[in-house]
Structure 1
Amino acid sequence: MDELVAAIAPGLAGLGLPVINRREVVLVTGPWLAGVSGVRAALAERLPQRRFVETAELGPGDAPVAVVFVVSAATALTESDCVLLDTAAEHTDAVVAVVSKIDVHRGWRDVLTSNRDRLAARASRYARVPWVGAAAAPELGEPYLDDLVAAIQKQLADPAVARRNMLRAWESRLLMVARRFDGDAQSAGRRARVDALRQQRRTVLRQGRQSKSEHTIALRAQIQHARVKLSYFARNRCSLLRVELQEHVAGLSRKDIARFAAYTRGRVQEVVAEVGEGAVAHLADVAQLLGVPVQPPVLENLPAVLPTVVAPPLTSRRLEIRLTTLLGAGFGLGIALTLSRLVAGLTPGLAASGMVAGVAIGLAVTAWVVNARALLHDRVVVDRWTGEVTASLRSVVEQLVATRVVAVETLLSTAISERDDAENARVADQVSIIDGELLEHAVAAARAAALRDREMPAVRAALEAVRAELGEPGAPTTGLF
């Protein structure tokens, strides 16, 4: 048989076929609680010239000359029981099936018939398997093993049993080779790994895109928030300075007006510095929040334009002074005449003194009216001037804020762009590694498929020849062909 298979499929010799070690033993196996140990012990007593073993006593690659498959009469075969028989009789053609415990299960014949039909439908080789009933260790009566012993002796006495066992071993080896080819070409593990790699690749690319979008959105949102907050801060400081200067103007004397311009200039410079420092601090916090720190000197070195603060326009107003003097003189003259008449009417002897006092008081009132009108005029001019100064200051600080924000936005955009480039390079490296592994799996799958396509026809031909020798031409095999 070896020569026949070698002639049909000469390439099988290099495929590492498993070596089968045929042992002169009879394997007794079956599902749990089927009574395997009892049947084995009874057979060893009835057939001492034969050695009966259980599955644990066989090593890797060992194959028995016959298999005794024991099932309980209590229940029909299950799928796991059939798989157990497939494994036990993989390299052995001689199989005897026995339904045990027939002494306590009166319907064992129905179970036997059901089991036989199920095995015959599973594989054509099981249609020839003899089925018998046995009671190896009965609860009542004597053991009953006659039919089982007769079936085993008949199987072992068949002169063709050795050849059929060899053919069955060749069939299992060829099926194993075919499964190996299919497994290598359609590896579930490889497919799972490829699917995982593709999912990982999609995830890496998606995370890279999301990271870039998140950085851009975060930068835009933070810069917009900083622009609004700093603009409000600058306008608020200008408004507070305007109120402060108005309060000072309301209490100014004429001699303080000359020094008020210098005071205003100092306060304007303080506000500009305060707004600049606030902008630097807030934008540094924004940069830190975005994970792209900007050094403070970069912001502090930006130029700041200070508003020009000149003295208030207290110009000469001769015509207004003349009019005010005239009105004040008339008002003072009226007061002087009124007082002199009042004094003359009360004390006629003091009429001259009353007139002098009235003139003096009239002159004083005239001077006060002229000075008060001049002071009020100057205060109005200074108040209007402070409004112009704060308006100019507001324009300057808004420009200062805008300049700082634009500068920081440029710096942050550059830094984030560099970080995105580094992230893209890292993503590209990861994708390259994944693509390399995917290529390796694709090459391995192609090689396995090519090997299967080249060798599988010979394996099929050899398998058909073996099955023809077994009398099972065209026999279907679960999962193959």
Structure 2
Amino acid sequence: MTPVVLVTGPRLSGVDGVVAALRQRLPAAVVTADRTELGRRAPDAVLAVVSAAAPMTRSDWASVEVVVGRTELVIGVVSKVDAHRRWREVMAANRASLASWDARYRSTPWVGVAAAPGLGAVLVDDLVELLVERLGRTSLPANATRRATVRPDPAEVRRVLQRRRLRLLRVVRDRSAAWRADARATAAELGSGAVADFEAMVATAALEFHTWVLEEVDREITAAAIEVGAAAPQPGVPTAGPPDTSRTATSSRRLEGRLAAVLGVGFGLGVALASSRLLAGMLPGWSAGGWAAGTAAGLALVVWVVRARGLLHERAALDRWVVEVAATLRWHGEATVAERLLAAESRWAAQARAAPRNGVSADRRLTRNGVTDQYEWC
């Protein structure tokens, strides 16, 4: 008997796109969003489609419960994953909310799809494979899922990943350079006693840079998977932690402090003598007051010279440290890009070797244009 799949969901959730994609991928099944087309027959599977823009609400699921009926196979589908970077978090929230609303759906599987992407290929492989597995392969012809087992072309995979790698390296270098310029400008205007706050700011920026690199790489790998028709990357890929940006202890400044003190005393003594003589000449009867005022001015100048020299030294040390941190962040970002893209290529190569070769054309050879395209900056 021909399996029947009913697709339902709230308005603007992407139901029509899922129906169109599944009809193309599963021509042996009846895929519809109109329950009246089924007559009295209950659907074999119900796909509850919700958007990845925001977590599902109770009213959204209420519209699904109306059509579920006695159907045993219910699959949650998060659509528009190509347009929303945090769709995995939305899917996890939907799974938790559904389990809290109704314990019967605690084990409901959830899948992310891009049925009608604005850019790139359609991404419904995981949903097709799950439907085939749950409905049973006996009810679907062997060629019904021919596109779900397409072997990624290794040459195409290398070309696409090379372009993604060049783009990622460029944005990593641009961001690290922009951060370095901003941090150096901040260090140049740093006031006395603000060193600890500046070091904390640098540590926070390093953690944010690490998180940003991971998100950018995952987004590019997902886009590459859509482009080459490979399986989407699985979340939770192990990766190294954020780079160490701790500041090393500076060497002793005893000699430099003595030199600054000597210079300050020299300037202060000169100012004190000049001020006292000037006041004594202008006010002959106030010679003692002139000496006192000159001495106070000299001491103030000594303190200012010593503190200013220390502040300038601290700013120079922080400037050098910022340059080192920026270089570390750039190296860390480039290493993360290389490691994760290499892992994706290895995973897709293993999938290509494991996929059946029947009906699949041989891998095309690299042409001159293909080799040139590997080094194209976009």
Q: TM-score range by the shorter chain?
A: 0.3 to 0.5
Higher helix share: 1
| Greater Cα radius of gyration, structure 1 or 2 | 1
- When normalised by structure 2's length, the TM-score is 0.43
Q: TM-score, normalised by structure 1?
A: 0.35
